Structure 1
């Protein structure tokens, strides 16, 4: 909005030229998102307490989690609100990529709110059925995939970059909508599975947002994208501003979500933030790199899958003490803050490795 209003007046007031720079708008989008969460977060937490929006703890989780019963949930709403407000202020609202990111934020945000509402007010700790959530996630994924298949400009509409290979892209052709669906649904649920310890998921989302802010800037810059041999995305740099708002909102929320958490983001935050990162990866053609950027999310999801497979094939034996993996380490005696910080460190290592692959070709 400010880009619309102020940048055209650059000849009247010189400093308004700054709004033409993605880096400037990204920095202030992050700052505004942080401030929104920090200023309104305490009031929102108080509001959730008054509405008895407390977390319902499932019986099968580690014993230490039962003391968290009643901690306000649905905190993801303030994250999404700050992202939307900061992006509305500093993004170019004529940019198709930004409109798509708005749609992912709203769609998965509403899905998460519905899920959290059922958990809290219908006394169903598991919330919506897995089938219902998957169907609604797939509907969005297919819809986005079809839109990009038919309306994306340029020769790379159905293609994506490969890592470790120079000057080579994969063309999914008519299967592209299915690939998009896999990325969106996988990233959404990967974050949701990881959201089990105070500060864990939102900290890792902040790390992923840094990665995709940098990648979006590179993909949207003619010279840099050519130098790195990655697909140039027209107006793709604008995704940087949106990712910066995600980073700011995540840092702001972490203020209240670190151990012991004053509020949980719930599925309102987890489902939507994962989907947004996945959508950003799709828009800048860096979907495969998401496996590295979100390496911890992938490991957490795989731990659940392996646990289920191993359980059924061994007649009831368990590969891990509990899945997802962070619960395994809890039961081994590691404290919650130690697990969280170590997983963040692993996430940062994945981030550095992911960015380094741009030159390992």
Structure 2
């Protein structure tokens, strides 16, 4: 009964979504850090090399991981506004994650490739004109998975580079809102997230998706290259 899965008539209220995301991110961050190749100490018992270029004190790394998970999930969600855009970028990032997981067990690589493959199949129906949509459930879950894999393998610091397009999409919204409030109604971009500005300029959805996929591929390969240099 779908009515029993709702809170009210419009789903979960917006003011509750972020707190719920943080609550759900707590066990995800704990499990990812507990399995990560770095010395945690305390409740997080693990060994091996540390999280590259990050402090490995649990009291500092754990909240950082929680914030990274929630931020990544919302960045993917914000990007999901053009047919095929978020799905393609997520597939690229997850495929690149396999390159990042240099010393990971085969099972972890299989999970990343399975998710990437599922997204490629999803794009058959999600490309313009889309017949199937990802929605919050899909985009938030993908963001959680992407961040958790980066944390687990000790490459949290490379996550912004790996998901650079997602980061830029989110920054465009933050800049737009901040400037709008500070300037009394003026805007930096015509529309945000930034892909809507390109659409407003006359770009087709296919052109936007392909261009952003290309940028995502370059940033993902750069992250994979840096990971191999520092590992």
Q: TM-score, normalised by structure 1?
A: 0.57
- Return the alpha-carbon distance in structure 1 between the equivalents of residues 107 and 173 of structure 2: 35
Matched, 1:332 2:225: no
Matched, 1:201 2:86: yes
Deviations 1:216-245 (A, max 9, x none): 2x133xxxxxxxxxxxxxx4x421110010
- Return the alpha-carbon distance in structure 1 between the equivalents of residues 229 and 153 of structure 2: 19
* CA radius of gyration, larger in: 1
- Return the alpha-carbon distance in structure 2 between the equivalents of residues 175 and 146 of structure 1: 13
Match of 1:23 in 2: none
Q: Equivalences for 1:100-115 in 2 at 5 Å? A: none
Q: Report SS of the residue matched to 2:118.
A: helix
Which of 47, 57, 68 is residue 154 of structure 1 equivalent to? 47
Match of 1:90 in 2: none
- Return the alpha-carbon distance in structure 1 between the equivalents of residues 103 and 64 of structure 2: 20
CA contact (8 A) 2:69 2:148 kept: yes
Deviations 1:81-138 (A, max 9, x none): xxxxxxxxxxxxxxxxxxxxxxxxxxxxxxxxx6xx67xx93x4xx533331111111
Which of 219, 223, 226 is residue 357 of structure 1 equivalent to? 226
- Return the alpha-carbon distance in structure 2 between the equivalents of residues 132 and 245 of structure 1: 31
Go from structure 1 to structure 2 and tell me whether the alpha carbon gap of 1:144 and 1:260 turns closer, same or farther (over 3 Å shift).
Answer: closer
Deviations 1:289-313 (A, max 9, x none): 1111100000001001001111011
- Shift of the alpha carbon at 1:174? 1.4
Go from structure 1 to structure 2 and tell me whether the alpha carbon gap of 1:356 and 1:155 turns closer, same or farther (over 3 Å shift).
Answer: closer
- Return the alpha-carbon distance in structure 1 between the equivalents of residues 184 and 44 of structure 2: 50
- Shift of the alpha carbon at 1:335? 1.1
- Return the alpha-carbon distance in structure 1 between the equivalents of residues 57 and 64 of structure 2: 8
Q: Report SS of the residue matched to 2:51.
A: strand
Deviations 1:311-341 (A, max 9, x none): 0111110111111011111111111111111
Deviations 1:251-294 (A, max 9, x none): 11001011000111111111111111111111111111111110
Match of 2:122 in 1: 253
Which of 145, 149, 155 is residue 29 of structure 2 equivalent to? 145
Deviations 1:48-103 (A, max 9, x none): xxxxx9xxxxxxxxxxxxxxxxxxxxxxxxxxxxxxxxxxxxxxxxxxxxxxxxxx
Aligned residues: 218
- Return the alpha-carbon distance in structure 2 between the equivalents of residues 144 and 359 of structure 1: 25
When the two chains are superposed, the root-mean-square deviation of aligned CA atoms in Å is 2.1
Match of 1:101 in 2: none
